[in-house]
Amino acid sequence: MGRKVVRGTPRGTAPAARPSDPRLIALFLDMLAAERGAERNTLAAYGRDLTDFTAYLAGAGLSVAAAATEDLRAYLGELAKRGLRPATTARRLSAIRQLYRFLYAEGLRRDDPAAVLEGPKRVRALPKTLTLAEVDRLLRAAASFDPAAPSPARLRAARLACVVELLYATGLRVSELVALPASAARLDAPVIVVRGKGNKERLVPLNNAAKQAMAHYLALVAQARDARGGGRSSTRRPLPGKRGREGEWLFPSFGGSGHFTRQHFARELKALAAAAGLRPAQLSPHVLRHAFASHLLHNGADLRVVQTLLGHADISTTQIYTHVLEERLKSLVRDLHPLAEE
């Protein structure tokens, strides 16, 4: 059964009272969540883009329900004046188009003013990545923590090393990685089950390095739990494997409720980059995901296989890595063609 939507009046008749802009956006986001399985981060991004759009309309004395095509073009012009990147403008236009398509389909608008709009030409930038040598330096730096350090420091270091190894070994989105349940820590299993965008599950294989990093992290977790007597009298966050709702995360936050956050991991990753002699500005969790995909393709993996491992719904998203394939083909011709050196 489909979601019930508060519909407007039939097309051809003027509505008695138009819903407010926040109400229209709320209905649209509700549809994205209920019918397309959009996750919280996606909904938040749509919400921010559309809030900026409605703020512009309000400043011009307009509303979502009353805006015409020329008003939308004026908004795009305003974005250009702000100096926004073409990709950002294209993303906001996509949100606006989807909003008006929804309002038209639900009878909340008698027309679709965004249907004829053209966005800026997008030049897809090559993804930032790391060389094999840079990844090796990063992983060695993550694994070289002081074994004589206090237990909490060793546990934090082991968690970071485990997360970095897993991220490079699997190519997971950082949001997928930090939200792994404690049940994912099955060292006898060759794969982990990941719940990605749209609540879709996929199987991702683990290599030996990732398994070893996880085993070391879990061993320190068990030691810390034993030292705390099972956590009965502690008010701190329980560790992985603890029964109950609070023990559901493989990487729980040590300082509060919930799991290790993307923002916290990004900060620790930049500090690790500095320790490894890399520029912190060049490194982010997504750069490791790019490195995973790029290195697989460089070593001969099929693009469709990489698409599956990354959890891309459309192969066009994976095709940002085709520059790797092109470079590999050039090197093959250069190295293997009999006339290459002539």
Q: Give catalytic residues, as residue numbers.
A: 173, 197, 286, 289, 312, 321
- Tally of CB atoms within 10 A around 238: 19
The angle subtended at Cα 235 by Cα 229 and Cα 241, nearest 5°, is 55
> Where do we find the tokens 């890399």?
278
Query: 3-state DSSP call for residue 116?
Result: coil
DSSP code per residue over 164-226: HHHHHHH---HHHHHT-BGGG--TT-SEEEEE-GGG-EEEEE--HHHHHHHHHHHHHHHHHHH
Q: Cα-Cα-Cα-Cα dihedral of 69, 75, 79, 81, to 10°? A: 110
Which amino acid appears at position 233 of this protein? S
> Which secondary-structure segment (H or E) carries 202?
strand 201-205
> What's the CA gap between 245 and 259, in Å, rounded?
12
- CB 136, CB 90: distance < 8 Å: no
For residue 274, what are the CA distances in angstroms to 98, 141, 146?
A: 42, 10, 17
Inter-CA distances, 25 with 19, 134, 264, 311, 334, Å: 10, 44, 31, 28, 55
Tokens 């603890």 found at: 242
* Neighbour-count burial of 24, counting CB atoms closer than 10 A to its CB (0-12 exposed, 13-18 middle, 19+ buried): buried
Are 241 and 247 in contact, with CB atoms under 8 Å apart? yes
Q: What is the CA radius of gyration of the chain?
A: 25
